[in-house]
Amino acid sequence: MLNAPVMEANDAVSGSMAECYVTIDGNRYNMMQLYSFESSAKVNSQDVKILGRTGIGKKPTGWSGSWKGTAHFNQSVFRRWFLTYCKTGRMTPFEIQVSNEDPPAGRQTITHTGCLIDSSILAKFDAGDSLLDEELSGTFDGWDMPEEFTELSGME
The Cα 149–Cα 102 span in angstroms is 9
- Dist. CA 128–CA 50, nearest whole Å: 61
DSSP result, 58-94: EEEEEEEEEEEEEEES---HHHHHHHHHHHHS----E
Phi, psi of 77 (to 5 degrees): -55, -50
pLDDT exceeds cutoff 80 at 14 = yes
Confidence (pLDDT) at 39: 98
pLDDT for 57-90, tens place per residue?
A: 999 999 999 999 999 999 999 999 999 999 999 9
| CA 16 – CA 37 distance, rounded (Å) | 11
Is 129 a residue whose pLDDT tops 80? no
pLDDT value of position 110: 98
| Per-residue model confidence (pLDDT) at position 1 | 62
Per-residue b or e along 117-154, where b marks 16 or more CB atoms closer than 10 Å to that residue's CB: beeeeeeeeeeeeeeebbebebbbeebeeeeebeeeee
Distance CA(53)–CA(29), nearest Å, equals 54
* Backbone region of residue 107 per phi and psi (left: phi > 0; alpha: psi in -120 to 50; beta: other values): beta
What pLDDT does residue 137 have?
Answer: 96
pLDDT at residue 2 is higher than 80: no
Portion of the chain with pLDDT greater than 90, in percent: 78
Are the C-beta atoms of residues 44 and 64 closer than 8 Å to each other?
yes
Average pLDDT of the chain to the nearest whole number: 93
pLDDT of 61: 97
| Cα gap 96→28, rounded to integer Å | 10
Task: For residues 6-10, give the mean pLDDT.
Answer: 86
137-154 pLDDT, tens digit per residue, is 999 999 999 999 998 888
